[in-house]
Structure 1
Amino acid sequence: MDSKFSGILEFVTAVDQGSFTRAAEILGITGSAVGKSIHKLEKRLGVQLFHRTTRRIVLTSEGEAWLISCRRILEELEHIETLLSTENAYPTGRIRIDLPTTFGRRYIFPILLDLAQQYPQLNLSVTFQDRAVDMISEGVDLVVRIGDLKDSTDLIAKSLGHQTLLVCASPSYLEKNGHPTHKEDLKNHHCLIGWRSQYKGHWFLKNSLGETEAYEINYTHEIPDGDALLSACTAGLGLAQLPSWLAFDALREGKIISILPEISGVEIPIHVLWQKRWHLQPKIRVVVDEITKFTHNKPELFFK
């Protein structure tokens, strides 16, 4: 009798190799055996996993969804075998990581490069984007996320600290245009905005009660990249709201100045998240530990 796991290895290998014939060569069986195994799998699932032509096989939408689950099963089995067969759990295998664009490039990616050098059997798949990915459906192992988190029973979150939002300007801009002293003064200044999915054209500022509000900005330039936004502010194009970790060096060097302290200083949490499993895989653990160590060793960037 076929088990619930029958056909999974043949299916994944066929996807990776692009044909039943090449999958058969890898697995050491006949092409017809691979085809029969996948046919039985489709019959058991009640869906078609491949569009078949005489030249190639292409995954259906159901096949793409099934592939994600199958890879997870095979990776879990591989890591459990590793845990059981070695005294010291060693980071191995592929880890899929999604990072905020500017923050990830500046601070997290260098950590990953060091880990890849330290652990040659650790394989990285890294993406940079400023949207919140669906970790489960998109097959992502670990993310760093800036902002409030949505409740999820499938994910584990660990705090990395927070970013403080500062309103900044270059000395040359302030000399030319004057210093704003109140929130209302922003309407008479050139303002720059970055990328923000839910609050485009807004800055997060404090009201008279010290509460955070999304304040609409009449902006001159829209620059959806953190490093480019900092460059524009430094060049004197206008006022910008910048996270503390991005503005830190420029503030220390006097290239920009923090202004409007009474309405600035909104804190936004930063977390690392990974999928909940019965054990913490070594590849996940080592990345989480190194990222956490880095942020806690930089209190001037991520803490008050």
Structure 2
Amino acid sequence: MDARFDGISEFVAVARLGSFTAVAAERGATKSAIGRAVSRLEARLGMKLLHRTTRRLTLTPAGEAWLEHCVAALDELGRGENALMLARDTPAGEVRIDLPTAFGRRHIMPVLIELAERYPGLNLNVSFTDRRVDLVSENIDLAVRIGHLDDASDLLARRIGVQHMVIVGAPAYLARRGVPRSSADLADHDCIAGRRRGNRIAWLVKQPDGSTARQVLRVKHELQDFEAVLMAAKAGCGLTQLPTWLVQEELRSGALEMVLDGLSGGELPINLLWPGTRTLPAKMRVIIDGVSRWAGEASGAIT
């Protein structure tokens, strides 16, 4: 402990109770220990704070002035401790959250809005990006990341789903250009590509031995947004490879049809990430638990 604070709480307690004996009994200490703490404080300040007689203790003028400051300081520390305890136990305050663009808008934002309505003290600060943010350096409290966590040694993670990819096309496009029967047939089709990884655009396609490899494509349209890719595919502009969480409704309604079923490869974990901490504030805990609960109840929507 900083020596500047040594003896302050004992001095304030003595001034409040009027005797070393009473303070010792209250704190489970010895009378001599309380007396030595106050004496060390007086020695450091270079002045007497208490008049000691065999019958009573009274404050000196310096003691009265110092007591006022000590009480104010201890009260402020108490208010700070209460604020921390409230933050730990009550969901309130700003939470900075980074989400993948399409997945975040479609699936996570409705959950966050419901939690914000349930806990009025929460203040959401949400960004949407498909790059890998650095939570610590960018002061992000919580993120959803689709992909492997090879760079997350200083983070805590909770898996909420798995992203599976499928190759789809609109019925009108397939009627016009034909249905591909093998991965080699993709070379004869217009392909709509989403995010580029590396210099050449490729889809993940399963091989005869069960492994997954990147197949380079002849790309007709390159659109750097999943929702724009989905729009183009539904319009009949070509085939595309998209995650099932994005195209489930279109597959059910018939707006899109799956092709090369069983050949479209690639599975990536979907995780909640947050910086490691010994104590998780309530504002973080309710969001992590809320998103996890939604993921468990709606697992079909994110696989």
Aligned equivalent of 2:267: 267
Residues 79-99 of structure 1, C-alpha deviations (whole Å, 9 max, x = no match): 97445358x811111111000
Question: Secondary structure of the residue that 2:267 maps to in structure 1?
Answer: strand
Shift of 1:293: 1.3
Aligned equivalent of 2:292: 292
Aligned equivalent of 1:202: 202
> How far apart, in 2, do the equivalents of 1:79 and 1:291 lie?
30
How many residues align? The count is: 228
> How far apart, in 1, do the equivalents of 2:99 and 2:85 lie?
31
> How far apart, in 1, do the equivalents of 2:236 and 2:81 lie?
56
Shift of 1:155: 0.3
Aligned equivalent of 1:222: 222
Residues 119-171 of structure 1, C-alpha deviations (whole Å, 9 max, x = no match): 12111111001000011110001000001112433100110110110000011
Residue range with higher mean Cα deviation, 260-269 or 138-147: 260-269
Shift of 1:103: 0.4
Q: Normalization by structure 1: what TM-score?
A: 0.70
Shift of 1:217: 1.3
> How far apart, in 2, do the equivalents of 1:242 and 1:200 lie?
18
Shift of 1:205: 1.5
Shift of 1:196: 3.6
> How far apart, in 1, do the equivalents of 2:93 and 2:80 lie?
8
Aligned equivalent of 1:149: 149
- 8 Å contact kept, 1:97–1:142: yes
Q: Which amino acid is the alignment partner of residue 116 of structure 2?
A: A
Question: Secondary structure of the residue that 1:262 maps to in structure 2?
Answer: coil
RMSD: 2.3
Question: Secondary structure of the residue that 1:210 maps to in structure 2?
Answer: coil
Question: Residue 84 in 1 paired to residue 85 in 2?
Answer: yes
Structure 1 unaligned residues grouped into runs of 5+: 4-77
> How far apart, in 2, do the equivalents of 1:241 and 1:124 lie?
32
Equivalences for residues 69-218 of structure 1 within 5 A: 81-82=82-83, 84=85, 89-198=89-198, 201-218=201-218
Question: Secondary structure of the residue that 2:136 maps to in structure 1?
Answer: helix
Question: Secondary structure of the residue that 2:230 maps to in structure 1?
Answer: helix
Shift of 1:200: 5.4
Residues 60-109 of structure 1, C-alpha deviations (whole Å, 9 max, x = no match): xxxxxxxxxxxxxxxxxx997445358x8111111110000000011111
Question: Identity over the aligned pairs, expressed in percent?
Answer: 40
Distance 1:82 1:198, change over 3 A: farther
- 8 Å contact kept, 1:82–1:89: no
Q: Which amino acid is the alignment partner of residue 243 of structure 2?
A: P
Q: Normalization by structure 2: what TM-score?
A: 0.70
> How far apart, in 1, do the equivalents of 2:81 and 2:178 lie?
63
Distance 1:199 1:117, change over 3 A: farther
> How far apart, in 2, do the equivalents of 1:298 and 1:175 lie?
34
Residues 25-72 of structure 1, C-alpha deviations (whole Å, 9 max, x = no match): xxxxxxxxxxxxxxxxxxxxxxxxxxxxxxxxxxxxxxxxxxxxxxxx
Residue range with higher mean Cα deviation, 100-109 or 189-198: 189-198
Distance 1:279 1:80, change over 3 A: farther
Q: Which amino acid is the alignment partner of residue 302 of structure 1?
A: I
Q: Which amino acid is the alignment partner of residue 139 of structure 1?
A: N
Residue range with higher mean Cα deviation, 188-197 or 247-256: 188-197
Residues 155-211 of structure 1, C-alpha deviations (whole Å, 9 max, x = no match): 001101101100000110110000111111111100001124447511112112222
Shift of 1:290: 1.1
Distance 1:180 1:85, change over 3 A: closer
Distance 1:181 1:223, change over 3 A: same
> How far apart, in 1, do the equivalents of 2:191 and 2:86 lie?
59
Aligned equivalent of 2:66: none
Question: Secondary structure of the residue that 2:89 maps to in structure 1?
Answer: coil
Question: Residue 246 in 1 paired to residue 265 in 2?
Answer: no
Which is higher, the Rg of structure 1 or of structure 2?
2
Structure 2 unaligned residues grouped into runs of 5+: 4-78
